[in-house]
Amino acid sequence: MAAKGETEQNQNLRHQEVGHKSLLQSDALYQYILETSVYPREPESMKELREVTAKHPWNIMTTSADEGQFLNMLLKLINAKNTMEIGVYTGYSLLATALAIPDDGKILAMDINRENFEIGLPIIEKAGLAHKIDFREGPALPALDQMIEDGKYHGTFDFIFVDADKDNYLNYHKRLIELVKVGGLIGYDNTLWNGSVVAPPDAPMRKYVRYYRDFVLELNKALAADPRIEICMLPVGDGITLCRRVS
Ligand SMILES: C[S@@+](CC[C@H](N)C(=O)[O-])C[C@H]1O[C@@H](n2cnc3c(N)ncnc32)[C@H](O)[C@@H]1O
């Protein structure tokens, strides 16, 4: 929202700064989406987890409520059962997934930080969903290598959500393309990276946005050129690219 008394010119300038949270033209439009169709339909457990996460110092990392709603709907549409998530944080997207998959569905969830996962875990337990989650603490890349070496995970995942270290996304893609089933989906989060993907190099940008920007640009090019997948880039949240494995 525009601060009280802020001039239109200042407001426009503020929206040009890279790092603006919403990719939409105005905060008011984003707020409209949240208040009209997201918050009124958000399950109690997701609301509770969102509110607990809001008090955490790194809350900027959480998946937005509109993206959580989108993931939940998408997983139901594709009847996902066997899923993976790389980058859990306090578990908002994890909970959106756990709510969408059937009772015997599974989520292999990986994160280097167990402490943050444990912030959301009691809420997931209270919702009766913890049995669907196999949380593994540690860096995802060696874990994926191990799965590939094991052989038994090839082509077994219906859906994989990647929301972790952007400088590894291409490394993840090389492995995940073997683990997702033909016809299954991989979702890469933050592919519009705060809008920085179209910013001039000298634009004002937070340090971490600038650091990861080139990796995101490289990923987007590589996904667009990969004949093993069909892709669809959506301006939901910070941008999500869905990749459907076709071969
Ligand atoms: C943007 S947050 C994930 C947000 C989460 N999807 C949600 O809904 O709140 C990114 C997470 O990736 C984790 N992460 C960073 N590097 C990682 C790595 N190499 N392997 C696994 N997880 C990693 C971080 O600890 C952090 O919790």
Prediction ipTM score: 0.99
pLDDT tens by residue, 119-164: 999 999 999 999 999 999 999 999 999 999 999 999 999 999 999 9
pLDDT tens by residue, 27-42: 888 999 999 999 999 9
Strand ranges, E, within the chain: 82-86, 106-111, 133-137, 157-162, 180-189, 229-234, 240-245
Higher pLDDT, 20 or 97: 97
pLDDT grade, residue 22 (50/70/90)?
low
Residue 54 has pLDDT above 50, yes or no: yes
pTM score: 0.92
Q: Report the Cα–Cα distance between both ends of the chain, in Å, rounded.
A: 45
Decide: 238 and 23 in contact? Cβ < 8 Å. Answer: yes
Cα 100 to averaged position of ligand 1 atoms, centre (Å): 21
Higher pLDDT, 16 or 197: 197
Residue with CA closest to ligand 1 atom 21: 111
Residue with CA closest to ligand 1 atom 1: 61
Residue 87 has pLDDT above 60, yes or no: yes
Cα 208 to averaged position of ligand 1 atoms, centre (Å): 14
Higher pLDDT, 193 or 24: 193
Q: Tell me the percentage of the chain whose pLDDT exceeds 70.
A: 91
* Ligand 1 proximal residues by C-beta, below 6 Å: 61-63, 86-90, 92-93, 110-113, 116, 139-140, 163-165, 168
Q: Which atom from ligand 1 is nearest to the alpha carbon of 93? A: 8
Higher pLDDT, 33 or 2: 33
Give the per-residue pLDDT at 41. 98
Give the Cα separation of 160 and 214 in Å (integer): 23
Pocket-testing residue among 51, 61, 90, 176, ligand 1, by greatest number of atoms within 8 A of Cβ: 61
The pLDDT mean for the chain works out to 92
Residue with CA closest to ligand 1 atom 5: 88
